[in-house]
Amino acid sequence: MEDTGLAGKTAIVTGGGRGIGAAIAQRLAALGAATVVCGRRAEALQQTAKEIKQRGGRCEAWPCDVTDYSFVEALAARVKQTFGRVDILVNNAGIGGFGGPLHTMPPEQWDPLLNTNLRGVFYCIRALAPLMISGGGGDIVNISSIAGKNALPGGAAYAASKWGLNGLSYSVAEELRAHNIRVAVVCPGSTHTELSPHQGKDPNKMLQPEDVADVVAMMVTQARRAFTSEVVLRPTQKP
């Protein structure tokens, strides 16, 4: 942990136990940030925190279900008590849903997907943005998907959640600019993680979690006079 570009800052990464979230947490910790990883799987969170600490970084693993506002409020209170501030919020927690045409989708699958991918981001911004405002500013990065830019037959509900997340991000960016808070959205293409194997695609040609982490690191370390509001990240070769 040699780079201290984020020294003295506190970063929260939702869905930080594995995949893209873990890679982002590790990258921010390597830049010197005190990092909090949260999610629903305590064992995975502890593993991420352990790896960061072994590299000399600071990381706390706190369970939190972003679909339940009481959990998110408790997270915000604990962050305030422990660190006194939050400088970076990465809304990464999300679930996929590729169950076929929307007209055949079981109705009970809709709420969990939208609640995690969209409502959870609202809850985190609602609970944590006031703390960021009181601290004088910061960065909010929402991890969306290229499915939030393009049609996704067979995954309409997932696409709807990500299109909604993009619209939320653009609007909140305008609301919070006056508070010195930059709100950005990252839309990765096919990314190789254990939770999204993308059957039939070559994992060696797919994006890796570290590629997304690099983009987030760039966003939160650029000069405060500017911000990158959106990045669409694609693999160089089609998988």
Residues designated catalytic: 158
CB-based contacts of 89, cutoff 8 Å, min separation 6: 11, 12, 124, 125, 128, 129, 132, 138, 139, 140, 141
Phi-psi region of 226 (alpha: psi -120 to 50; beta: other; left: phi over 0): beta
Q: Residue 180 in 3-state DSSP?
A: coil
Position of tokens 């600071």? 58
Spatial contact of 201 and 156, defined as CB atoms under 8 Å apart = no
CB-count burial class (<10 Å; 0-12, 13-18, 19+) for 104: exposed
Q: How far apart are CA 211 and CA 223, in angstroms?
A: 21
Q: Where are the beta strands (DSSP E) in 117-229?
A: 138-143, 181-188
